[in-house]
Amino acid sequence: MADKREFREFARNQIEDSLAVKRQLLGDTSLLQCLEQVALATIRSLQAGGKVILFGNGGSAADAQHIAAELAGRYKIERPGIAAISVTVNTSALTAIANDYGYDDVYARQVQGLGVSGDVAIGISTSGNSMSVVRGLEAARAKSLITVAMTGGSGGRLRSYADFCLQVPSEQTPRIQECHILLGHILCDFVEDELFRTPPSRRPQL
């Protein structure tokens, strides 16, 4: 059995690794500006009657559900629900589409059916190369949705289909996922605050 001190050192190293990537985010002016643009575009879409559609695989599917739940339910304040949906959660749709067309089309088909011009589509992939997510954003772009990629590393193929790319400066999946949910929380907090707490006279002109 490992010594308690060994485990504590192991845990500290993991936390330090996570903090190091977050410090890089803090100093990445272009990424923060991109996040601001995503937030303002999302607010504009919602004010015009649009919605947010999210998707990803594995841990990124969980992040898509998480962010959709924060918007549809609440983040910090009591307010009406925000139109947000994760298309990762309908197992009948996922299995039917995967069976009939192949897994790469599980999000594209749903975006084709649910997406409307002006909606916001957020595709989440730590590598940026998950083909089902790439095709989901490709379908979103074809229908004139606002496309957002949440990636890591080089951004992968997903970057080419995104109007906005939130690219975490790391190659490690756990660190990228930790930053994705942080960025998602910032987005939810700002959108909620601007739509429901900030007086209309002080809201940004969109």
The per-residue pLDDT for range 11-56, each reduced to its tens digit, is 999 999 999 999 999 999 999 999 999 999 999 999 999 999 999 9
pLDDT digits (tens, 9 = 90+) for 98-126: 999 999 999 999 999 999 999 999 999 99
Domain count, the chain: 1
pLDDT at 5: 82
Pairwise CA distance, residues 5 & 169, whole Å: 30
pLDDT digits (tens, 9 = 90+) for 146-189: 999 999 999 999 999 999 999 999 999 999 999 999 999 999 99
Look up the pTM and report it.
0.93
pLDDT at 53: 98
pLDDT at 4: 77
Q: Is residue 97 part of a domain?
A: yes
- Enclosing domain of residue 69: 29-199
| pLDDT interval class at 3 (50, 70, 90) | confident
Cα angle value 192/193/199 (rounded, 5°): 130
Q: What is the mean pLDDT of the chain?
A: 94
Two tokens at 189?
A: 């907090």
Contacts 24+ apart (CB under 8 A), 193-202: 193/77, 194/39, 194/43, 195/43, 195/46, 195/47, 195/79, 195/82, 196/77, 196/79, 196/80, 197/77, 197/79
Q: Is residue 9 part of a domain?
A: no
Q: Is residue 15 part of a domain?
A: no
Q: Is residue 7 part of a domain?
A: no
Could you give the angle at which helices 173-192 and 4-27 cross, rounded to 10 degrees? 50
Q: Is residue 86 part of a domain?
A: yes
pLDDT at 1: 55
Write the CATH number for 134. 3.40.50.10490
pLDDT at 206: 44
